[in-house]
Amino acid sequence: MTYKELNASVMILCGVGVAAWVGWQAVAVPALDLESVAWRLLYAIGLNIIINIVLMVLATIVVSIAQRDELKDERADERDRAISDKSMRNGYFAVSIGGLAVIVALAMGQGPDVAAYVLFAALMIGGLIDPVSRLVYYRIG
Amino acid sequence: MGKGSAKIENTIRTLRFHAGEITQAALAEKVGVTRQTIVAMEQGRYSPSLEVAFRVARAFGAPLEQVFQYRGEIE
């Protein structure tokens, strides 16, 4: 497993974990107003970033020990850039659909708190499609 | 990855053998790409840009046509 594949795997793991936590919170402990929802989602985004960094450091150490060779990130070449571009395009497409879903939710009479969750879901799904695409392109081509 | 990737074949593996079994990592260093890119090229999963294709050919001291072959139809 290369550093870039490991990074994508960790991003997927964190994204799924945080999205599941937010989903569970939304159902189990419904927020009272839009401000609470926004703070909860901001907290989740911050948590996602921190967990991602910590897990990546730990995973790099574990894989390096397992492979008995330091796992290092190589300088990106044209294939890496092409994969990055295509993966970002896929993620952007998902976020765009999510943005449309937010407008549709508001048009259907849903409250702004629901719209905030839909927007968060769109960002998380887009953020997941990016690393999933990377893994697929690196593994399958 | 590259356009028409299924139709572009290469003889990198054979050329590496004839070049004294040069490693993928050493070839990658010479060409200026990652080892994974060389692996993907050898397995036919990635068709490089024209510039990288020329650099691979130059690394073996071979003409481009000896390293890469286009198997598709030309209308």
pLDDT digits (tens, 9 = 90+) for A88-131: 999 999 999 999 999 999 999 998 888 988 998 999 999 999 99
State the average pLDDT over residues A3-31. 89
Closest residue in chain A to residue B47, using alpha carbons only: A79
Closest residue in chain A to residue B25, using alpha carbons only: A74
Residues in chain A: 141
Model confidence pLDDT, tens digit, residues A23-34:
888 888 876 788
Of B34, B43, B45, the CB nearest to A77: B34
Domain segments of chain A as ranges: 3-139
Q: Tokens for A105?
A: 């939710």
CATH number for domain B5-69, candidates 3.40.50.80, 3.30.460.80, 1.10.260.40, 3.40.1000.10? 1.10.260.40
Chain B within 8 Å of A69 (Cβ-Cβ)? Answer: no
Model confidence pLDDT, tens digit, residues B53-68:
999 999 999 999 999 9
Count of beta carbons in the 10 Å neighbourhood of residue A26: 18
Query: How far, in whole angstroms, is CA A101 from its chain's centroid?
Result: 18
Mean pLDDT of chain A: 91
pLDDT score, position B75: 66
Of A77, A82, A141, the CB nearest to B45: A141
Q: Please report residues of B whose CB lies closer than 8 A to that of A76.
A: 34
pLDDT band at B5 (very low <50, low <70, confident <90, very high): very low
Domain segments of chain B as ranges: 5-69
Examine the pLDDT at B3 and tell me if it is beyond 90.
no
Return the bridge partners of B9, or none: B69
Chain A within 8 Å of B1 (Cβ-Cβ)? Answer: yes
Model confidence pLDDT, tens digit, residues B23-59:
999 999 999 999 999 999 999 999 999 999 999 999 9
Query: Can you spell out the DSSP letters for chain B?
Result: --TTGGGEEE-HHHHHHHTTS--HHHHHHHHTS-HHHHHHHHTTS-PPPHHHHHHHHHHHT--HHHHEEE-S---
Chain A within 8 Å of B69 (Cβ-Cβ)? Answer: no
Chain A within 8 Å of B4 (Cβ-Cβ)? Answer: no
Amino acid identity of residue B67, one-letter, is V
Model confidence pLDDT, tens digit, residues A70-79:
888 888 999 9
DSSP letter assigned to residue A82 = H
> A77 and B45 in contact by Cβ < 8 A?
no
Report the percentage of chain A scoring pLDDT > 90: 65
Examine the pLDDT at B4 and tell me if it is beyond 50.
no
